[in-house]
Amino acid sequence: MDAIYSNATLDSELLVAANTGSFRFRDPISAEKFLFLMECLTYAIFTVGFVGITGNILILCTYWKVGFTDSINISYMAMAVSDLGCVASIVWSGLCWNPGFNSVVAIEARDVVLPTGGFATTAFGKITAMITAFISLERCLCVVFPLKVKTLITRQRTIYFIALMYVVHVLPTSLVYVVVRFEWHFSEQRNRTVLGVKYLRNPTEQTITDVLWVFHSLPLQFIPLIIVVVCTIFLIITLNRSARWRSGNSKGITEDRHRRNEPEISSGKPRASSKEDRIIKTVILIAIVFIVCSSPAAINNAVTRAEPEYRASGKYRKLNLFVAGSTACLNTINSSVNIFIYYKMSSKFKLALKKLVCLVD
């Protein structure tokens, strides 16, 4: 939560440093380079964000048409909602860092970015992480307990779990609006009245800040990541073992029929197993993208907690903010690519999406 109390002074420090050439902190990234890099990140976020917002809206509409016969479709749709919220909040945060936007709006965009975009990104990102962990764990249970999984994970329990994740992550994050106040004030630098943010520091607000610190602490970030990593490794091993068994079994049956001069007879079982394999492959792809895109953010937060000078009030603050912006771009990618995975792996989703966009009758 160091960023809560230091983010408001960042603009003035950067402007002073850029104009005078003197830096309060010995950051390896200069003020001018920092502003340039952040501007480049915003354009990357806008590009990926447009794809993400469009894609997640299409996912929601498509799964609404496909239906929820399979409980995993409920999870896919719930994840699309959190991904949409995550991408939208990241795009807004990127917009706040864009110099062109700052020059035309009557708000201190880089002051309001944290309460209006940063915390929403964190909340929706954690919901996506928990749903990804839930989906991965569900597939593992399907492998370990194939006959009991339908009673262990029902549609009703899936809905309850997802609703709980939204409540648990959204409510604590909304407490930030008790800590901050949006106020109009005159900006001498811009020579106009602008909307800014004031952070309250009385004991009650400090307690709320401490609660938010604990809630966004490392254990809650690493737990879903560890679950996804373990489940993904297990699913990959299971999928490879199943493929080798089917290959060997099919080869043995074919050779036996050739010896007996019997015609080959197709069976319906491979189709059923093929459907399960496609679901497992879909979950593995989602998990791998999540691991690749989320690990840098987790590592960056761990370094932030371990090294005081790397925090928002330390001498490497600009480096910290640039890395955080880069990880936000990765999170945007993570929340934007699922539509391509579903389209590639699910024939039912592919057909429904084509009908939705009028590519087929």
Residue-wise pLDDT for 347-358, tens only, equals 889 999 998 887
The residues, any chain, with a CB within 8 Å of residue 336's CB and separated by 6 or more, are 48, 49, 51, 52, 55, 56, 83, 87
- Whether 18 is covered by a domain: the verdict is yes
Tell me: pLDDT of 24 over 70.
no
- Whether 257 is covered by a domain: the verdict is no
Helices 119-144 and 218-260, interaxial angle, to 10°? 30
- Whether 248 is covered by a domain: the verdict is no
Partners of 140 in the beta sheet?
none
Asked if 225 contacts 291 with a C-beta cutoff of 8 angstroms, the reply is yes
- The DSSP output letter for 25 is S
- Whether 259 is covered by a domain: the verdict is no
Q: How far apart are CA 123 and CA 101, in angstroms?
A: 25
- Whether 157 is covered by a domain: the verdict is yes
Residue-wise pLDDT for 44-72, tens only, equals 888 999 999 999 999 999 999 888 888 88
Residue-wise pLDDT for 223-242, tens only, equals 899 999 999 999 999 888 87
Q: In which domain, by residue range, is 137 found?
A: 2-240+280-356
Q: How far apart are CA 207 and CA 212, in angstroms?
A: 9
- Report, as an integer, the average pLDDT of 284-301: 90
Identify which of 172, 169, 271 has the alpha carbon closest to the alpha carbon of residue 221: 169
Asked if 173 contacts 122 with a C-beta cutoff of 8 angstroms, the reply is yes
- Report, as an integer, the average pLDDT of 179-188: 81
Total domains present in the chain? 1
At CA 320, angle to CA 80 and CA 18, rounded to 5? Answer: 120
CATH number, domain with residue 84: 1.20.1070.10
- Whether 334 is covered by a domain: the verdict is yes
Q: What is the DSSP string of 119-182?
A: HHHHHHHHHHHHHHHHHHHHHHHHHH-TTTHHHHS-HHHHHHHHHHHHHHHHHHHHTHHHHEEE
Joined together, the tokens standing for residue 174 give 């909304």
- Whether 79 is covered by a domain: the verdict is yes
Confidence of residue 115 (pLDDT cuts 50, 70, 90): confident
Which H/E stretch holds residue 118?
Answer: none
Asked if 6 contacts 313 with a C-beta cutoff of 8 angstroms, the reply is yes
- Token pair 């909340």 is found at 123
- Token pair 């925090």 is found at 311
The residues, any chain, with a CB within 8 Å of residue 307's CB and separated by 6 or more, are 314, 316
The pTM of the full predicted model, rounded to 2 decimals, is 0.81
- Whether 258 is covered by a domain: the verdict is no
Joined together, the tokens standing for residue 314 give 């330390």
